[in-house]
Amino acid sequence: MRFARSEGRLTGLPLFSLIYPCVTLAREFDPLGYPGPWTGEDRLPSAAELVDAMAQNMAGVLAPLFARQVAEGPVDERWYWLAPILLDLAGDETGTRAWWGQEDLATEWSSQGEDSEDEDGASAWDDHVAHLIDLLAQRDRGTLRLGAPPADLGTLLAQLAVAGPGAVMLRSMSRIVGGKGALSGTAIRNAAAQTARSFLPLFNLPEATHFIRSLSAEEPFWRRALEYCVSGGIQAVMDEYLHVLEESLGLIGGASESNLGEVAEAVCYALALRTSTPEVDEIHVGPRSHRIAIREQRMRNRFAVRFGEERAEGTGDPTRSDQVRAAFNSPFWPFVLATTSVGQEGLDFHPYCHIVVHWNLPSNPVDLEQREGRVHRYKGHAIRKNLAARFGVRAVLRWMEGNPDPWSVLFELGVKERTEKTDVVPFWVYPLEGGARIERRLMVLPLSREVERADELRRSLAVYRMVFGQPRQEDLVSYLLSRVPEERVSSLGEQLRIDLSPPKGSG
C-alpha cells in the first residue's frame, strides 16, 4: 500500500479510505455503545453484527450524496474514497473546508511512519493530495460527475467507521481531549491523519502482508487489511494506548488540542521502528583439523528485539534504544524485549508487559526487585487487564455520560469499589482471582545449583519486602509456611508487615 504512480496514473487513491479522518464516521458510528438489536441484552455485539447494523443505517446517510452527485452509469469505485469526504462536507462543512484548505496539507498529513523506501511513492504523495483537492474544487463548481455507487459501499463505510485508522485515531484522540465536541478541530484532524498514515508501512511489512493474505488472498489488499482491523478491535486497542500514552508523556492536566501533536508524534515514533538484523556467530569445528571457524551471520528480527543499538534492515541506519523502548511500550511490535542489567533500573516497561523472564539469577533480592519493578508500575498492564475483566464494557457504558474516556471510567469504578482510602488500589495494585499478575519466570536447570539459589533468593526477597512493608502476598506466605505452622501464618503476617500509610488525623 503506497502512494505511487504507474503509467501516469495515481495508484494510491483508494488508501485515502483508510487514512482520512472522517468526522461523520467518528461521531455518528462509534462502536462503543452503538445501538442495535442487542440493546438491552446482557451481551456485546460481535464485530460482524456491529458492521451489519451500521451498514443498514448507512443508506439514510448516503442518500443526500446520491441525490447531489449524478449516480448513474457504470459502477464508479471513486465512491470508496470520496464518500467519507463528501459526508463531512455535508455534515460539517465549515470544519472540513478549514482542514482541506490548509496551505500545505500534504506536509501536515505526512508522518514519521511514512514508508520512504519507495522514492516514486514518496514523491507521488503530494500529487495524490493535490488530486483530491482538485476533485473537491470540481464538486464546488458542479462539474464532478460520479457513476453508480458500488453495491457494498455501505458495508465498506461501516467497516471504516469501526476500524478505519483515520476514523479510529480521530475518535480515540477525541476521547482524551473532551469527547465528540472536539472532533471538528483542525489540530485534532491533523494529528489523527498523521498517525493513521503511519499505519500503512506497518501493513506493508512482509510478515503482516503474508499473515493478512493467509486469512484471505482476495484482492485488493487494502480491503483485507481493513477487515483485519475490524476483527482485531483496533478501536479498543487505540483507546487503551492513548490513555496510557497521555500519562506517560507527562501531559499536565491531560491532553488538549494544543499538545495532540506530541501524542501523534509518539504514536508515529513507535510505529516507525524498522526491522533490525542482529549479527550472530556461527561456530564450526573442522572434522579433521579440529580448528574452530567463526562465521558471522545476520538474522532478520521482527517479533523480538534486543534493547540496544542495532542496524535497521535495508538502510543500515542505527535503531536507538529509546525508540525500541517506545515501540515495546505500545500495542505494536516488538512483543519480546531482551536486555542485560542495563534495563533493570530506571526504565519503565509496564504499559504492555507483566511477565519477566530472568535469563540468569541476580546476586541479591534488591536486583530481583529492581528487574520486576520495571513492569510493576502505575496503571500497569496486569492492572488494566484485571479492571477490564472485573467491570467490562457494560459497566463502563453506564458510567460514561460525563467522561468520554472509557479507561478513565474503569479506574473510577476501581476507586469506588476499594475498601481502603489509598491510591495504591487500583492504580498500583488490583488483584483479581484468576486474573493477570506480575509473573516471574526463572531459567533454572533441574538438579543444578541454581535451584537452591532460586529458593534462597525467593526467601530473601520476602524478607526484603517485609522490611519495606510491601510484600507480595504469595512470596510472604510461602516464606512463613516454611518456618511456622499454617494456622499462625495469617496473624503473624499482619504482625510482621510494616504499615507505611500516612497517619490518620484525629479530626
pLDDT of residue 499: 67
Please report the beta strands in 178-309, taking only residues with DSSP state E, as ranges in sequence order.
279-285, 292-298, 304-306
| DSSP for residue 250 | T
Is 313 in a helix, a strand, or coil?
coil
pLDDT of residue 47: 94
Please tell me the distance from the alpha carbon of residue 202 to that of residue 184, in angstroms, as a whole number. 27
Please tell me the distance from the alpha carbon of residue 89 to that of residue 415, in angstroms, as a whole number. 43
The answer on pLDDT for 469 being more than 60 is no
How sure is the predictor about 474, in pLDDT bands with cuts at 50, 70 and 90? low
Q: Calculate mean pLDDT across residues 412-425.
A: 87
C-alpha cell at 279: 549479527
pLDDT of residue 27: 96
For the chain, report the end-to-end CA distance as a whole number of angstroms: 66
Please tell me the distance from the alpha carbon of residue 59 to that of residue 342, in angstroms, as a whole number. 57
Q: Calculate mean pLDDT across residues 249-271.
A: 86
Please tell me the distance from the alpha carbon of residue 244 to that of residue 111, in angstroms, as a whole number. 21
**Cα of 494 vs its chain's centroid, Å:** 41
Please tell me the distance from the alpha carbon of residue 354 to that of residue 376, in angstroms, as a whole number. 7
C-alpha cell at 105: 496539507
Q: Calculate mean pLDDT across residues 42-48.
A: 88
Give 305 or 193, the one with higher predicted confidence.
193
Question: Under a CB-based contact definition with an 8 Å cutoff, are residues 273 and 201 in contact?
Answer: no
pLDDT of residue 403: 85
Buried b (16+ CB within 10 A) or exposed e, 357-393: ebeebbeebebbbbbbbbbbbebbbbbbbbbbebbee
Residue at grid coordinates 485515502: 16
pLDDT > 90: percent of the chain:
52
Out of 210-214, 303-307, 356-360, pick the least confident. Answer: 303-307
Residue at grid coordinates 464494557: 393
Residue range 170-196, pLDDT digits in tens: 999 999 998 899 999 999 999 999 999
How sure is the predictor about 466, in pLDDT bands with cuts at 50, 70 and 90? low
306: left (phi over 0), alpha (psi -120 to 50) or beta: beta
Of 384, 382, 397, the C-alpha closest to 44 is: 397
Q: Which residues contact 30 (CB under 8 A, 6 or more apart)?
A: 171
The answer on pLDDT for 118 being more than 50 is no
Q: Calculate mean pLDDT across residues 399-417.
A: 88
pLDDT of residue 268: 94
The answer on pLDDT for 502 being more than 80 is no
The answer on pLDDT for 443 being more than 70 is yes
Instruction: Measure the CA angle with vertex 246, ends 240 and 251; round to 5°.
Output: 165
Please tell me the distance from the alpha carbon of residue 234 to that of residue 56, in angstroms, as a whole number. 22
Q: Which residues contact 439 (CB under 8 A, 6 or more apart)?
A: 354, 355, 356
Q: What is the DSSP string of 66-133?
A: HHHTT--SSB-TTHHHHHHHHHHHHH-HHHHHHHHT-TTHHHHT--TT---S-HHHHHTHHHHHHHHH
Please tell me the distance from the alpha carbon of residue 147 to that of residue 153, in angstroms, as a whole number. 13
Rounded mean pLDDT of the chain?
A: 86
Give 205 or 70, the one with higher predicted confidence.
205
pLDDT of residue 309: 64
Q: Which residues contact 290 (CB under 8 A, 6 or more apart)?
A: none
Neighbours of 225 (CB within 10 A): 23
Domain ranges of the chain: 5-262, 273-334, 339-443, 448-507
Please tell me the distance from the alpha carbon of residue 315 to that of residue 201, in angstroms, as a whole number. 15
pLDDT of residue 121: 44
Of 239, 264, 250, the C-alpha closest to 187 is: 264
How sure is the predictor about 206, in pLDDT bands with cuts at 50, 70 and 90? confident
